[in-house]
Amino acid sequence: MGLLNAFNEWRESRYQNHVNRMKEENKCPDCYGRGFSLYPGNEFAYHANQFDCQGCNGTGLYSEWNSLS
């Protein structure tokens, strides 16, 4: 159990560092500020907004991501 707890703490610490870095740059942590999510080329989209980042509604901004979280 100690190894599993250590792994979970490391993963959470890494995620928090990522969120803090994105906050400093005012970028959405989910899409790295791009405003869209990358999907495999073999998926067909019926609607253009299907690829918009769900975390920031396609804006790419941390402030939007934070308000929706």
Domain boundaries, the chain: 2-68
pLDDT of res. 69? 76
pLDDT of res. 48? 55
| CA diameter of the chain | 47
Q: Which alpha helices (H) appear in 1-69, and where do they start and end? A: 2-25, 62-68
Interatomic CA distance for residues 27 and 35, integer angstroms: 9
Task: Say if residues 27 and 19 touch (Cβ distance below 8 Å).
Answer: no
pLDDT of res. 40? 56
pLDDT of res. 38? 72
In this prediction the pTM is 0.75
pLDDT along the chain (69 residues), means of 10: 91 96 95 82 58 88 91
Interatomic CA distance for residues 52 and 28, integer angstroms: 12
